[in-house]
A = this chain, B = another copy of it.
Amino acid sequence: MRRDVFQAIADPTRRAIILLIASQAMTPNAIAEHFNTTRQAVSKHLRILAECQLVTQEQTGREIYYQLNGDKMKEIDKWLDQFRKIWESRFNELDKILLTLKNDKK
């Protein structure tokens, strides 16, 4: 299937699901109550989220609790890190210019 985290968070419904279960594990039925779609559609989204390990399942009886996997969320954060360095270096360059202007004033 080759699902990755970035494709998983591309869909707004899936992002809403992630936000919903971030603070508390929930069952598919409970999650589906928050959306205007069928339970099966939510189940499909959960399957995609599980495939890329963004959520983990925990079965108790016939109920399955879905929980957010924070570590996988950090993968996105890690990807953003590449650009933070660039932003930072750009800011430093701007900083140098501002410092130069300051020194020129004196």
Binding site for B on A (CB under 8 A): 4, 6-7, 9-10, 12, 15, 18-19, 22-23, 68, 70, 73, 76-77, 79-80, 82-83, 86-87, 90
Rounded to whole angstroms, the CA-CA distance of A18 and B76 in the bound complex is: 14
- Shortest C-beta distance, A62 to chain B (Å), equals 28
In angstroms, Cα B86 to Cα A22, docked, is 7
Asked if B73 contacts A83 (CB within 8 A), the reply is yes
A22 CB contacts on chain B under 8 angstroms: 82-83, 86
Contact between chains at B76 and A80 (CB < 8 Å): yes
Q: Which chain B positions have C-beta within 8 A of A4?
A: 12
User: How far apart sit A79 and B70, CA to CA, in the bound complex (Å)?
Assistant: 14
Minimum Cβ distance to chain B for residue A25 (Å) = 12
Given contacts A70-B87, A87-B70, A90-B70, contact A82 B19 (CB under 8 A): yes
7 closest A-B pairs by CB:
A10-B10, A7-B10, A6-B10, A22-B86, A70-B87, A6-B9, A73-B83
